[in-house]
């Protein structure tokens, strides 16, 4: 056990190649879609695609910090995939630039004449203005990248030296880090998607994003872990008990997502206030209601019903399929948040709405795989490793 180095198998390089191929395909489709639909549609689709994929990176950062605080076999086996996903954050900061370029297309509050004619936007101008918006984005990414870099650096050092003080250091950073994460993601969610409609507000929005990101990240690393568990070196390590724990966590995140989404709906629906209800009025007509029903059935009821059974959570292939389904269906949730605001008269989908998530996904997966294969697949000196290797539950 002490000499095992847990080098990444060839399938990780294969994943990287697939990612690059997918990115090329996605970019070609995006080009075609852009030619068809124009710049406005491009930026709308880009915002959705970006929020969708940055959710995997940020959710991974949060889960990694939760694991550093709580410990547990579930976290030991996914720690390296989580760390690799957090190392995509510098890439995600670069990929934010198109949103900066498209601010005029995405955010009504960037137009001085529109603000001058609208008392509500004037009242929010101290927060919703371009320079402050940009400064906040720099601050968010600085926080996230610094936390991810420190956790990754100390983790590599732990592999080399086995110094027990490093586990304590990572736990300490994670305690404060989760607070910073909660605040920054809440504000980022307000900036990125809530301010698309500067009149509307929901105080649960930030929580919805944190939980959505955790769900995305967990589903993504479960899919990766099952892929890794079919070949050496992890085939001897990952067992049904690990999957069972991760499946239970996925189930919990799924329920929390549904709980928060429904809470927002039931509160706004019951109060029926003029400043809140338009959000759901737009989404209950013109074809948007089918997107809402699809979320209830495909994002909640279907994976929930399947994950309810113990056997599903302990079955590698079934859990992998459900996890991949959850990763994909998350896109519909972000689409539901953003797209109806631009198309209040009715459902409207174009090629870029599908092409951009594929393109960004290809880029994300390629960089993720490149990061994943650079380090051992298990934290070699984690204090909980020996226990995680013999993990057994009912």
Partner 1 sequence: MHVHEEKTGLYGLMAEFDQAQPLVDAAVAVMGAGYSKVEAYSPFPIEELNDIIHRKRTILPKLVLGAGLTGMASGFALQYGTSVLAYPLNVGGRPLATWTAWVVPSYELTILFAALTAAVGMIALNGLPQPYHPVFNVERFDRASSDKFFLVVEAADPRFQKDETTRLLEGLGAKGVYDVAE
Q: Which of 111, 153, 160, 310 binds partner 1 (CB under 8 A)?
A: 310
3-state secondary structure of 372: helix
CB of 393 to partner 1, least distance (A): 8
Q: Residue 6 or 265: which CB sits closer to partner 1?
A: 265
CB of 327 to partner 1, least distance (A): 26
Number of residues near partner 1 (by CB under 8 A) = 11
Q: Residue 160 or 310: which CB sits closer to partner 1?
A: 310
Per-position DSSP letters for 73-108, written without gaps between them: HHHHHHHHHHHHHHTTHHHHHHHTHHHHHTHHHH-G
CB of 295 to partner 1, least distance (A): 14
* 31-90: contacts with partner 1 (CB under 8 A): none
Using the contact rule CB under 8 A, the part of the chain among 80-88, 180-188, 215-223, 304-312 near partner 1 is 304-312
Asked if 217 and 60 count as a contact pair (C-beta separation under 8 A), the reply is: yes
CB of 265 to partner 1, least distance (A): 7
- When asked if residue 165 is in the footprint of partner 1 (CB under 8 A), the reply is no
Using the contact rule CB under 8 A, the part of the chain among 183-191, 306-314, 333-341, 366-374 near partner 1 is 306-314
Q: Residue 228 or 388: which CB sits closer to partner 1?
A: 388
Q: Residue 70 or 393: which CB sits closer to partner 1?
A: 393
Total count of residues recorded for the chain: 394
- When asked if residue 113 is in the footprint of partner 1 (CB under 8 A), the reply is no
Q: Residue 3 or 392: which CB sits closer to partner 1?
A: 392
CB of 259 to partner 1, least distance (A): 9
- When asked if residue 308 is in the footprint of partner 1 (CB under 8 A), the reply is yes
CB of 25 to partner 1, least distance (A): 41
Q: Residue 86 or 261: which CB sits closer to partner 1?
A: 261
CA–CA separation, 109 vs 40, rounded Å?
Answer: 16
Asked if 25 and 358 count as a contact pair (C-beta separation under 8 A), the reply is: yes
Query: In sequence order, which ranges of the chain are alpha helices (DSSP H)?
Result: 10-37, 39-70, 73-86, 89-95, 97-101, 103-106, 112-116, 119-123, 130-161, 164-192, 205-228, 240-271, 278-283, 288-294, 302-307, 310-314, 316-342, 351-372, 385-389
Site track 256-285 with partner 1 (rule: CB under 8 A), x = hit: ------x--xx--xx-x-------------
CB of 392 to partner 1, least distance (A): 6
Structure tokens belonging to residue 286? 């013109």
Burial class (CB in 10 A: 0-12, 13-18, 19+), 247: buried
Q: Residue 3 or 272: which CB sits closer to partner 1?
A: 272
Asked if 39 and 105 count as a contact pair (C-beta separation under 8 A), the reply is: yes
Structure tokens belonging to residue 7? 């080098």
CA–CA separation, 360 vs 349, rounded Å?
Answer: 18
The residue with tokens 């086995």 is 162
Q: Which residues bind partner 1 (CB under 8 A)?
A: 262, 265-266, 269-270, 272, 308-310, 392, 394
């Amino acid at each position: 056990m002490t000499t095992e180095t847990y080098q990444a198998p060839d399938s990780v390089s294969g994943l990287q190649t697939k990612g690059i191929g997918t990115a090329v395909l996605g970019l070609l489709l995006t080009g075609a879609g852009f030619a068809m639909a124009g710049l406005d549609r491009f930026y709308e689709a880009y915002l959705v695609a970006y929020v969708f994929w940055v959710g995997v990176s940020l959710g991974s950062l949060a889960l990694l910090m939760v694991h550093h605080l709580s410990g547990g076999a579930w976290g030991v086996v996914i720690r390296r995939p989580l760390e690799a996903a957090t190392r995509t954050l510098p890439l995600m900061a670069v990929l934010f630039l198109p949103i900066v370029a498209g601010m005029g297309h995405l955010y009504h509050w960037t137009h001085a004449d529109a603000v001058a004619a609208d008392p509500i936007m004037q009242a929010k101008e101290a927060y919703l203005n371009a320079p402050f918006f940009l400064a906040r984005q720099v601050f968010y990414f600085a926080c996230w990248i610094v936390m991810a870099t420190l956790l990754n650096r100390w983790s590599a050092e732990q592999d080399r030296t086995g110094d027990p003080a490093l586990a304590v250091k990572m736990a300490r950073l994670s305690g404060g880090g989760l607070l910073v994460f909660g605040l920054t993601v809440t504000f980022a969610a307000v900036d990125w998607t809530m301010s698309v409609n500067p009149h509307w507000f929901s105080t649960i929005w930030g929580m919805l994003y944190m939980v959505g990101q955790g769900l995305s990240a967990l589903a993504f690393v479960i899919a990766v872990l099952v892929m890794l568990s079919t070949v050496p070196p992890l085939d001897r390590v990952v067992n049904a008990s690990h999957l069972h724990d991760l499946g239970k966590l996925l189930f919990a995140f799924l329920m929390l997502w549904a709980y928060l989404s429904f809470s927002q709906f039931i509160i706004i629906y019951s109060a029926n206030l003029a400043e809140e209800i338009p959000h759901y009025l737009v989404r209950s007509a013109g074809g948007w209601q089918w997107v809402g029903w699809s979320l209830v059935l495909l994002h909640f009821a279907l994976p929930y019903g399947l994950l309810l059974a113990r056997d599903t959570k302990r079955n590698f292939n079934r859990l992998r399929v459900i996890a991949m389904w959850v990763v994909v269906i998350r896109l519909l949730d972000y689409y539901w948040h953003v797209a109806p605001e631009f198309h209040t008269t009715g459902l409207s989908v174009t090629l870029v709405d599908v092409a951009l998530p594929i393109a960004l996904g290809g880029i994300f997966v390629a960089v993720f795989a490149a990061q994943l294969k650079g380090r051992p697949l298990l934290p070699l000196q984690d204090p909980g490793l020996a226990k995680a290797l013999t993990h057994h539950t009912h």
